Amino acid sequence: MVILRCDYCGSENFSVGEGLYTCNRCGIQYTIPTVIQQFSYLLSINPMGNMNTQTSFMPQSNEFEINGGTLVKYNGKNQDVIVPDNVISIGPNAFRGQYITSIKLPSGLKSIQNNAFYGCKSLYSIELPMGLTEIGYEAFGEMTLSELSIPESVINFSGAFSGCTIGNLYIKYMSDEMKYKAFSYTEQINNVYILNGTEKCIDYISTQKFFRNKKWNIDSIFFPQNIDILTNLDKLAIVPANHVYVGKTDIEFCIDIDIIDSTMKKGNGDNYLYIIRLCYNSNIIGVYEYNIYDLYKISDDLISLIWNSTTPQIPKLYWERFNIEKKIRNHIQKRGRI
């Protein structure tokens, strides 16, 4: 009896029946003459068709270029790819720009190196195996993925999805190790589901160390149920997403603006005190006060004027979301100043 290794997918798991050896992974069938031709060695096949587990055989195939467990290059033409079981690492540029529509990765895979799948624009989904620990820079760059699940074993994947558009992103466990620049410059993410993690995951996301982008580009973020809402309101308020959930609770913030006329004068303009409150239900998260002088001079520099203020700054995310500038401008226009 012998173990055979499938010439197509590298599996060593076969079933035997009616003179055919069928690969249990990819379904390709071999007759005994074909088996003799396709494999480098064949010791014996007993009359019952059972296969010995003492010796394994390597296929004579040019589809996968493998060196020391690293898949160096995929030379095949198949659009549906099954990576051999003996691969533990996918090398740089191994599939770069290839026209593939699906791929099955082996359970023993440990790393995917830089640019491995860069520009595989026809690959819309990929299942990353548990046990994978590292994904290199732009390994999946410039791709569109309808769904992506990051196993909790992955701790290093800084910039791996640069330029990607992702539909639903599932993070099985947000650990301390994966916090920095994990999704640097990802083009768009519709929904992010953090299935498990400590309260520190809010720190990583609210400070944009995890999703580091020039623009906020996430529709909804779902934090795990164990997050305490009230003690983390100030951080939840600046999470870079249109909608924020803790478990099934929709965290909706609101803005209150009070505009107070002061009797103080400076130059030719009145002094107005703008009091902006960021609130969650009846909880006031932050109070921001701005004195604006010389309203005659204010035009397109309103944002610069406030952002150069020495007072605490309301998060830019909420400045845009609640049209704070528009409300202040409307007040100024009613006073006939611009």
| pLDDT confidence bin for 4, thresholds 50/70/90 | low
CA separation for the pair 241, 169 (Å, rounded): 14
Q: Do 192 and 270 share a domain, yes or no? A: no
CA angle in degrees (0–180, nearest 5) for 236-242-246: 40
Across the range 182-188, mean pLDDT stands at 78
State pLDDT tens for residues 245-261. 999 899 988 888 888 76
Helix (H) or strand (E) holding 269: strand 269-280
Separation of first and last alpha carbons in the chain: 91
| 11 and 119 assigned to the same domain | no
Q: Are 30 and 102 found together in one domain?
A: no
Residues 83 and 32 occupy one common structural domain: no
**How far, in Å, CA of 10 to CA of 25, rounded?**
9
Output phi, psi for 288, to 5 deg. -125, 125
pLDDT surpasses 80 at 148? yes
Q: Residue holding tokens 């569109």?
A: 144
Average pLDDT, the chain: 78
pLDDT at 163: 87
Are 20 and 156 part of one and the same domain? no
Predicted pLDDT at 50 = 41
Q: Of 115, 122, 126, whose CA–CA distance to 170 is shortest?
A: 126
Residue 222 pLDDT class (50, 70, 90 cuts): very high
pLDDT in tens, 43-102: 333 333 444 333 333 443 578 999 999 999 999 989 999 999 999 999 999 999 999 999
For residue 76 the two structure tokens come to 């095949």
Is residue 123 located within the same domain as residue 233? yes
Q: Which two tokens stand for residue 60?
A: 């004579």
* Short-list 38, 33, 42, 36, CA closest to 9: 38
- Please give the model's pTM, rounded to 2 decimal places: 0.71
Burial classification of residue 210, based on how many CB atoms lie within 10 Å of its CB (0-12 exposed, 13-18 middle, 19 or more buried): buried
Question: Is the pLDDT confidence value at 215 over 70?
Answer: no
1 confidence band (pLDDT: 50, 70, 90): very low
Q: Give Cα separations from 139 to 172, 203, 208 (angstroms).
A: 20, 26, 21
Q: Which of 19-28, 141-150, 270-279 has the highest mean pLDDT?
A: 141-150
Q: Which of 37-41, 153-157, 284-288, 301-305 has the lowest mean pLDDT?
A: 37-41
Separation of alpha carbons 108 and 135, rounded Å: 14
193, 87: one domain: yes
Position 290 scores a pLDDT of 75
Q: In terms of domains, do 121 and 175 share one? A: yes
**Shared-domain flag, residues 12 and 76:** no
**pLDDT category of residue 311 using cuts at 50, 70 and 90:** low
Residue-level length of the chain? 338
**Domain shared by 270 and 128, yes or no:** no
CATH number for the domain that contains residue 186 = 3.80.10.10
Instruction: For residue 279, give its domain range.
Output: 254-334
Same domain, 35 and 91: no
| 14 beta partners | 23
How far apart are alpha carbons 90 and 258 in whole angstroms?
58
Domain count, the chain: 3
| pLDDT for the residue 307 | 59
Pairing relation of β-strands 70-74 and 64-67?
antiparallel
Q: Are residues 100 and 237 in the same domain?
A: yes
What's the pLDDT tens digit per position in 89-144?
Answer: 999 999 999 999 999 999 999 999 999 999 999 999 899 999 999 999 999 999 99
- The residue out of 17, 44, 60 marking a domain boundary is 60
CA-CA distance, 256 to 304, in Å (whole number)?
21
Confidence at residue 49, expressed as pLDDT on a 0 to 100 scale? 41
The two structure tokens encoding residue 69 = 């467990």
